[in-house]
């Protein structure tokens, strides 16, 4: 089923749900029972996958990781809120093909706020999911949102998506960016298979040796940013997740060009101070000026 629908932006009409009136018993293959859209109705906390309607440039970098669900027969199910914030809320989402355990994955959906409330779970989930299965409707929806604060909100989601793509391609440990659609960014969920999110560094209780290792990982990822000319710009123990002993950096909409941005050096310095202060308070003494110098060297190399 996935292959049938996977590379289908050229023919979006195929993505329309099969009306039950035209799906007769004769259409059914005798060899397999694949559920058609007519058999599946999204529930209150569900919508059809938005993947088929996403233009290629708004999908994550190639090659797509094997776990990315590309089937147009998938449903997005909202499983809960990971965190509400000032500019964005982060939800736990499952994207899965009903009755196909091989095609299912957990995603983090970061939704930037605009003037409207998120329409995902409040109203018309079913209608909305349907309408975004059509690329023309998606464009119309996107147009409608090109006003006022909605534009600003979408600019943040696109900025974060671009930053994640860039850093992913450089090999930095960021969540894989799956897609961006208006104000909603979908990315790899960092956590376990049960939907328990990885803790932020701020909540991690480790001994000094483990902390020292986490620090080294953070320096490594900062060096990748710096070598590409960037600072994270909001680096702290709250924007670093620790999963199975590995650090992932999140919350990238504001990454800054160290040289081109007049605040670039200050923000890089602040990142260094935030990190070194945090570790030093936990008796892993690290020198912010030394780190700053190392990052500067990396950015000029």
Ligand X SMILES: Nc1ncnc2c1ncn2[C@@H]1O[C@H](COP(=O)(O)OP(=O)(O)O)[C@@H](O)[C@H]1O
Q: Is 251 an interacting residue with respect to Mg ion (CB under 5 A)?
A: yes
- 50: burial class by Cβ within 10 Å (0-12, 13-18, 19+)? buried
Taking the complex as a whole, the smallest distance from the CB of residue 258 to ligand X amounts, in Å, to 21
Chain-centre distance for alpha carbon 262: 28
Q: How far is the CB of 189 from ligand X (least distance, A)?
A: 5
- Is 300 exposed, middle or buried, given 0-12, 13-18 or 19+ CB atoms closer than 10 A? exposed
Helix (H) / strand (E) containing 277: helix 264-281
Binding mask 45-84 for Mg ion (x = CB under 5 A): ----------------------------------------
**Residues assigned a catalytic role:** 234, 251
Classify strands 177-181 and 88-96 as parallel, antiparallel or unpaired.
Answer: unpaired
Tally of CB atoms within 10 A around 160: 23
CB atoms within 10 A of CB 58: 17
Q: For ligand X, give the closer residue by CB, 128 or 251.
A: 251
Binding residue (CB under 5 A) for Mg ion from 138, 157, 183, 239: 239
Nearest to Mg ion of 188, 251 (CB atom): 251
**Residues 115, 151 contacting (CB under 8 angstroms):** no
Classify residue 275 by burial, with Cβ atoms within 10 Å: 0-12, 13-18, 19+.
buried
Picked from Mg ion, ligand X, none, the partner binding residue 197 (CB below 5 to 8 A depending on kind) is ligand X
Q: Is 274 in the site for Mg ion (CB under 5 A)?
A: no
CB closer to ligand X out of 104 and 191 = 191
Closest approach, Cβ 217 to Mg ion, in A, equals 18
Give the interface with ligand X as residue ranges (CB under 6 A).
Answer: 82-83, 85, 87-88, 90, 108, 110, 175, 187-191, 197-198, 200, 238-239, 250-251
| Residue located via tokens 């030093």 | 280
Distance of closest approach, residue 234 Cβ to ligand X, in angstroms: 8
The residues of the shown chain that bind Mg ion, judged by CB under 5 A, are 239, 251
């Amino acid at each position: 089923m996935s292959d049938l629908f996977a590379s289908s932006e050229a023919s979006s009409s195929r993505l329309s749900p099969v009306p039950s009136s035209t799906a007769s018993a004769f259409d059914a293959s005798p060899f397999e029972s694949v559920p058609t859209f007519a058999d599946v109705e999204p529930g209150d906390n569900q919508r059809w996958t938005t993947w088929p309607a996403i233009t290629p440039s708004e999908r994550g970098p190639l090659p797509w990781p094997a776990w990315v669900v590309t089937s147009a027969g998938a449903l997005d199910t909202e499983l809960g809120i990971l965190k509400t914030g000032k500019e964005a809320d982060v939800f736990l989402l499952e994207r899965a093909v009903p009755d196909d355990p091989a095609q299912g994955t957990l995603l983090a959906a970061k939704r930037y706020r605009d003037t409207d409330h998120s329409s995902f779970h409040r109203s018309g989930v079913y209608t909305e999911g349907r309408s975004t299965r059509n690329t023309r409707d998606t464009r119309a929806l996107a147009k409608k949102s090109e006003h006022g604060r909605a534009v600003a909100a979408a600019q943040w989601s696109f900025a974060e998506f671009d930053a994640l793509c860039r850093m992913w391609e450089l090999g930095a440990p960021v969540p894989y960016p799956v897609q961006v659609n208006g104000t909603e960014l979908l990315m790899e969920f960092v956590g376990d298979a049960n939907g328990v999110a990885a803790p932020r560094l701020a909540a991690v209780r480790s001994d000094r040796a483990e902390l020292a290792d986490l620090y080294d990982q953070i320096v490594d990822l900062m060096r990748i940013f710096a070598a590409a000319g960037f600072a994270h710009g909001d680096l702290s123990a709250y924007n670093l997740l620790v999963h199975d002993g590995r650090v992932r950096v999140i919350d990238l909409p504001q990454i800054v060009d160290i040289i081109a941005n007049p605040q670039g050096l200050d923000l890089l310095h602040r990142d260094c101070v935030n990190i070194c202060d945090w570790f030093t308070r936990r008796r892993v003494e690290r020198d912010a000026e030394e780190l700053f110098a190392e990052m500067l060297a990396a950015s000029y190399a």
